[in-house]
Amino acid sequence: MLTALAILFVVVLLGSIAYGFSIVVRRPPTSAELNTERCTLCRRRFDKARLIEREAGDTRVFYFCNECITRLASDAEALRAANEISS
């Protein structure tokens, strides 16, 4: 009898832990999380006001931070200079 009660207690305890975890996982996003987005290239999270937004097609939206844009511009300039030298 005591073993059955112990097993029942463990099952109830594990069920309570699983239920609590599911509540934590399903919580609604905070207002700070709603106003942030990840940069498409570096994947760091920024406030949406600090990101450049570009749409590709009907549904795909890309977000870029200033650092990634600067790096892309310098890479494009280096490539352009290398192409001018080789031609």
DSSP states of 14-80: HHHHHHHHHHHHTPPPPHHHHTEEE-TTT--EEEGGGSEEEEETTTEEEEE-HHHHHHHHHHHHHHH
Map tokens 């106003």 to a residue: 35
pLDDT digits (tens, 9 = 90+) for 22-46: 887 887 878 778 889 999 999 999 9
Contact 44, 66 (CB under 8 A): no
Which segments of the chain have a pLDDT < 50? Answer: none
Structurally, how many domains does the chain consist of? 1
> Which pLDDT score is estimated for 23?
83
CA atoms of 54 and 51, how far apart (whole Å): 10
Q: Which domain holds residue 19?
A: 2-86
> Which pLDDT score is estimated for 85?
85
Contact 40, 64 (CB under 8 A): yes
Q: With 0.75 as the threshold, say if the pTM is over it.
A: no
